[in-house]
């Protein structure tokens, strides 16, 4: 059985949660490998509708071990709340584990996220204000506090004393904010440690063993490639890698262990927060898509910016992740449109270009070049095989495959688990 990575191909919110929930039925393990509770994975299944922020979307399957990997920044309060919510509706959380290498989101991270956004003024990034950026900053600055530290109160105190002194200096002198109390933060995190103790462990041996045994393992991404700190629309990006490279680092599995890499793309584009989005529609079509698809942030409730499918950005995403397959989601949303556009190139400074510029300033100036296809204007939500799609929907999917040079082997046509088409050639699924 394969190891399959599920990666966001656009700006996040592509429907990775649904894809993982569907595939987790056969999986022995699901590992979340990056991001933090800035993510919101919507899952609709027989238990109801959930917005999971930290717990892997495989938790609803009774045989699936769920791991919050070392690459995730964990807010213990959010995790505890999510666990309680799941337990409250009878979901078994005894197979949920948190890597002891995962970094923690601390109260000063949340404060700093807001203070830094305020300081950016009109150039604010539009972060989710969950403290995720400052937590990853501390990870690389080597002043992070990790899940393992929660399990040893002496270590936690020593670490917190050192870090909080620096943080308080920064909070008070640079931002003019009030300092945080060592006693309060320490006692709060000791309590979290006690409550999370049986979830936190060294998870690497469990991961390697499962892969060695040939069991099916899913690597669950958060956010999307266009928000990657290296390849995304910097600085309007998140702060851990949502790409397949991030899946390796954030789970402890080497590239040779991954059998298939599914890039998840919506049949159109959305983005939430600041930064360029060449195909954004600030008109009634954009509004129609937003309302029909209820495109509002799962974490912050912010309206998502909606636009046509950007094949230039998507092709770039396919290349830099090496996707073996594409999962195309929300095709049903386009059912009502009489014409559908795909961005096949950009016009920049009077020239046509077909690559995704690295400069955000250049990207802001790009004007999309569109190809227009006739809409199918009939519902597809009941369709379960590729051949049964209306010919015009078929054509739309095939055109995307041609433009992206990657097979679209999974198509989601509704929010429920069973509303999907899986093609027989899907890598590792059939």
Q: Is 61 a catalytic residue?
A: no
In angstroms, give the least distance from the CB of 370 to ligand IMP.
24
The C-alpha torsion from 185 through 298 and 281 to 292, rounded to 10°, is -160
Which of 42, 210, 233, 239: binder of ligand IMP (CB under 6 A)?
239
What whole-number distance in Å separates Cα of residue 230 and Cα of residue 238? 10
Distance CA 422, CA 430 (A): 9
DSSP H or E run through 326: strand 325-329
Q: Does 75 bind ligand IMP (CB under 6 A)?
A: no
Residue of 78, 125, 190, 353 that binds ligand IMP (CB under 6 A):
125
- Piece of 80-88, 153-161, 222-230, 325-333 that binds ligand IMP (CB under 6 A): 222-230
Active site residue 41: yes
Residues 375-395 as b/e (b if ≥16 CB within 10 A, e otherwise) read: bbeeebeebeebeebbeebee
- Contacts of ligand IMP in 339-358 (CB under 6 A): none
Say whether residue 227 binds ligand IMP (CB under 6 A): yes
SS3 label, residue 91: coil
In the complex, what is the shortest distance from the CB of residue 313 to ligand IMP, in angstroms, rounded to a whole number?
14
What track of x and - describes contact with ligand IMP for positions 4 through 33 (by CB under 6 A)? -------xxx--------------------
Give the residue with the Cβ less far from ligand IMP, 272 or 331: 272
Interface pattern 34-63 for ligand IMP (x via CB under 6 A): ----xxx-----------------------
Nearest distance from C-beta of residue 258 to ligand IMP, angstroms? 22
Answer yes or no: are the C-beta atoms of 17 and 57 closer than 8 Å. Answer: yes
Positive/negative CA dihedral, 87, 91, 92, 96 = negative
Task: Please pick, from the candidates 10, 34, 223, 241, the single residue that binds ligand IMP as defined by CB under 6 A.
Answer: 223
Q: Are 65 and 28 in contact (CB under 8 A)?
A: yes
Among 75, 128, 321, 409, binds ligand IMP (CB under 6 A): 128
Query: What kind and span of H or E run contains 400?
Result: helix 391-404
Kindly identify the residues of this chain, within the stretch 270-289, that bind ligand IMP according to CB under 6 A: 272-274
Residue 57 CB burial class (10 angstroms; 0-12, 13-18, ≥19): buried
The residue ranges that bind ligand IMP (CB under 6 A) are 11-13, 38-40, 125-128, 130, 132-133, 222-223, 227, 236, 238-239, 272-274
What are the catalytic residues?
Answer: 13, 41
């Amino acid at each position: 059985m394969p190891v399959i990575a599920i990666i966001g191909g656009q700006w996040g919110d592509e429907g990775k949660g649904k894809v993982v929930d569907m595939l987790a039925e056969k999986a022995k393990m699901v590992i979340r490998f990056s991001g933090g509770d800035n993510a919101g994975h919507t899952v609709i299944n027989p238990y109801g509708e959930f917005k999971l922020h930290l717990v892997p979307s495989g938790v609803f399957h009774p045989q699936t071990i769920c791991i919050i990997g070392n690459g995730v920044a964990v807010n213990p309060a959010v995790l505890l709340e999510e666990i309680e919510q799941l337990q409250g509706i009878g979901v078994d959380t005894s197979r949920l584990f948190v890597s002891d290498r995962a970094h923690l989101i601390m109260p000063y991270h949340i404060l700093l996220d807001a203070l830094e956004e305020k300081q950016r003024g009109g150039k604010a990034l539009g972060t989710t204000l969950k403290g995720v950026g400052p937590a990853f900053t501390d990870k690389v600055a080597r002043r992070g506090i990790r899940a393992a530290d929660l399990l040893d109160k002496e270590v936690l105190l020593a670490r917190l004393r050192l870090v909080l002194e620096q943080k308080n200096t920064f909070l008070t002198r640079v931002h003019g904010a009030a300092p945080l109390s060592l006693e309060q933060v320490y006692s709060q995190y000791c309590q979290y440690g006690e409550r999370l103790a049986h979830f936190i462990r060294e998870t690497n041996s469990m991961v390697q063993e499962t892969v060695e045994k040939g069991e099916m393992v899913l690597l669950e991404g958060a956010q999307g490639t266009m928000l990657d700190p290296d390849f995304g629309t910097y600085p309007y990006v998140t702060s851990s890698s949502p790409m397949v490279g991030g899946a390796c680092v954030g789970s402890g599995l080497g590239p040779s262990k991954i059998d298939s890499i599914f890039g998840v793309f919506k049949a159109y584009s959305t983005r939430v927060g600041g930064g360029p989005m060449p195909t954004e529609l600030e008109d009634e079509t954009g509004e129609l898509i937003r309302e029909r698809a209820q495109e509002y942030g799962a974490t912050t409730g912010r309206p998502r910016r909606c636009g046509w499918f950007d094949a230039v950005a998507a092709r770039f995403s396919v290349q830099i992740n090496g996707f073996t397959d594409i999962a195309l989601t929300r095709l049903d949303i386009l059912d009502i449109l009489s014409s559908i556009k795909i961005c096949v190139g950009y016009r920049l400074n009077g020239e046509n270009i077909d690559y995704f510029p690295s400069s955000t300033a250049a990207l802001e100036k790009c004007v999309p070049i569109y190809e227009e296809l006739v809409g199918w204007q009939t519902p597809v939500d009941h369709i379960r095989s590729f051949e049964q799609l209306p010919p015009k929907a078929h054509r739309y999917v095939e055109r995307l495959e041609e433009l992206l040079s990657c097979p679209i082997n999974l198509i989601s046509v509704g929010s429920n688990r069973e509303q999907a088409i899986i093609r027989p050639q899907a890598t590792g699924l059939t």
